[in-house]
A and B are shown apart, each in its own frame.
Chain A
Amino acid sequence: MTIAIGFEGSANKIGIGIIRDGDVLANVRETYVTPPGCGFLPKETAAHHRKQILGILKEALRVANIEPKEINVVCYTKGPGMAPPLLTVAIVARTVAQIWNKPILGVNHCIGHIEMGRLITGAKNPTVLYVSGGNTQVIAYSNKKYRIFGETIDIAVGNCLDRFARIIKISNDPSPGYNIEQLAKKGTKYIPLPYTVKGMDISFSGILSAIEKKVLPDRGNKNRRKPLPVEEEAHHEDLCYSLQETIFAMLVEITERAMAHCGSNEVLIVGGVGCNERLQEMMGLMCKERGSKLFATDEKFCIDNGVMIAHAGWEMFRSGTRMKWEDATITQRFRTDDVQVTWNVADE
């Protein structure tokens, strides 16, 4: 029996999770929500996490109903992400590991998403679509690594959605993506937008600037920029609808390209954008056409959380990975395919 605790705070969520051999004992999380029109900045996000983290830790231990001495390994997100919040969380993880006298493991955030998704859904060796605020990757396992088959060549899909949400000033509570999804449900008219796939790679920056122009026709002149009239609410709904339909079609297409290329018949969607129900529905339809199977999770596990770090760390720990204290650092850039997979993913 191995119990792992995981600390995650690479972006605007701060979460701590505890897992025992695949059983989730605790999954506590808080989100730093900024006002409409504003993104989250490194310094403020770190301050938020600092304020929340000890309360979350106590709550996680309470919910899990365990004593620190029962924990076998302390795991934290090593990267990728924003440096200040990553550092805040790493310092707390290192401190408790010292106090409790437990080994420490730094975990790749993306690997956390993938392993958590596999645990929850039971997907064996899927083509993974990893979609979040900072990442857009199509991934498949081979030869001891999660390999990136396709990727955004400019901005991430979540970043594209968040920036659009800021342009039309919709609420960031609980997340900009969620509110775009709600508005999109009311949209009826499809407004054509650029559609850019390059093989298994994808691009969003052209779409963002095209849709920006449709919101503010006089963008160049700040003085003439006045609030949009009420009747343009419907226009916003149509824009959200068109944006989602376009970028999700692109994501489903590159996933299908990777499946065809790899000969795979399972898809797993992970990352914050992955809890969008329309994306899941579209992916499901594609899978049905191919005779393949879709695996997805809900917001509890799709959105950044501590359990995913605990679970990926659990896999690493059980397969013999250990980290020296001096290596328990953070890094803003940490690619999915930098990680050597030491645990068993697929029979090769």
Chain B
Amino acid sequence: MTTPQIIKQGAEAKLYIGKYNEKRCLVKERFVKTYRLTEIDKTLTKARIKAEQKTTKRCENAGILVPKVYNVDFNERKVYMEYFDKAMTVKEFIVQVQKEKKLEELDMLMKRIGEVIGKFHANNIIHGDLTTSNMLINPKENDYDLIMIDFGLSSFSTSHEDKGVDLYVLERALLSTHSDLPDLFNSILKHYKDINPSTETIRKFEEVRARGRKRTMIG
């Protein structure tokens, strides 16, 4: 076997092109992390592969665009999934739009992101790692699809606190990553509320945020 060409090293996995049933696909391998205890590493890896598989199903049922999962292999720590070879991350897309000075593109994108996250939460799916690296833009003629990926930290929960934290994580990631576009999150939130109008979720989100601001930082 030749060593596969790694196309990306993500936040926790290595991704390369492989084959499943003779079909070209993406292999996401959660390789052994030698820095952590074997017990911790095994438990986390297994839970995250499971989450990836389950959440993919739930998203499909909710009509959210995600890569199809063809197979998972717990022993080899691999998920075999659909590969979007023309896709770029939303992070890359935003940087490109800024360079080309086509900022009007962002309104449409924020609407789509807000709506898809609203759909997640309306269906009690917590993404767990909402960043612009975990959303893909898949181009099609004169348009694109927004595809959500990376469900290793995802879960199923009806808790408003969990949904609030999910939004908080996204806000933090947007403010730090796209610091020159400070309005992205508000625009997302506006459209999010159209799909998930729960005031309780928003209240929890604001509570989590206030906790952070109030925290004294001694030492």
Contact = CB atoms under 8 A, between A and B. Distances in A.
- A and B are interacting partners: yes
Interface of A: 10-12, 80-82, 109-110, 132-135, 140, 142-143, 145, 147-154, 156, 158-159, 190, 192, 195, 197-201, 245-246, 249, 252-253, 256-257, 260-262, 272, 281-283, 285-286, 289-290, 304, 332-334, 337
B12 interface: yes
Contact of B39 (A149, A192, A281): A192
Given A145-B179, A285-B34, A285-B35, A304 B219 contact: yes
A133 B173 contact: no
A11 B175 CA distance: 29
Nearest to A249: B36
A158 B168 contact: no
B179 A199 contact: no
Contact of B11 (A140, A158, A260): A260
A153 B173 contact: no
Interface string B162-203: 000110111011011101100000000000000000000000
Contacts of A332: 216
Given A147-B176, A147-B179, A261-B131, A190 B39 contact: yes
Contacts of B24: none
Contacts of A337: 176
B165 to A, nearest CB: 6
Nearest to A200: B173
A154 B217 CA distance: 11
A333 B36 CA distance: 34
Contacts of B12: 253, 256-257, 260
A200 B131 contact: yes
B169 A199 contact: yes
Given A198-B128, A283-B35, A10 B219 contact: yes
B217 A151 contact: no
A199 B131 contact: yes
Contacts of B10: 260
Interface in B45-81: none
Nearest to A191: B39
A109 B153 CA distance: 33
Q: Please list the 5 inter-chain residue pairs (A to B) with the smallest Cβ-Cβ separation, ordered nearest first.
A: A133-B219, A285-B35, A134-B218, A80-B217, A134-B219
A44 B178 CA distance: 43
Interface in B14-50: 31, 33-37, 39-40, 43-44
B8 to A, nearest CB: 9
Given A11-B218, A249-B35, 15 more contacts: A80-B218, A142-B176, A143-B179, A147-B176, A148-B172, A153-B211, A159-B219, A198-B166, A200-B172, A245-B37, A249-B36, A256-B11, A261-B173, A285-B35, A334-B217
B212 interface: yes
A154 B211 contact: yes
B44 A195 contact: yes
From B12, B173, B213, name the one whose CB has the most chain A CB atoms within 10 angstroms. Answer: B173
Nearest to B47: A195
B36 A198 contact: no
A201 B215 CA distance: 15
Interface of B: 9-12, 31, 33-37, 39-40, 43-44, 91, 128-131, 133, 153, 165-166, 168-170, 172-173, 175-177, 179-180, 208, 211-219
B121 to A, nearest CB: 15
A281 B35 CA distance: 8
A153 to B, nearest CB: 6
Given A249-B35, A249-B36, A10 B177 contact: no
28 contacts: A10-B218, A82-B218, A134-B218, A142-B179, A143-B179, A143-B180, A147-B175, A153-B211, A154-B211, A156-B219, A159-B219, A190-B37, A190-B40, A198-B165, A200-B131, A200-B173, A201-B165, A201-B169, A252-B36, A253-B12, A260-B12, A261-B11, A261-B133, A261-B173, A261-B177, A286-B35, A333-B214, A333-B217
B136 to A, nearest CB: 14
B129 to A, nearest CB: 4
Nearest to A144: B179
Nearest to A137: B217
From B170, B172, B175, name the one whose CB has the most chain A CB atoms within 10 angstroms. Answer: B172
A142 B40 CA distance: 33
Contacts of A282: 35-36
Given A143-B180, A199-B130, A153 B165 contact: yes
Contacts of B173: 149, 199-200, 261
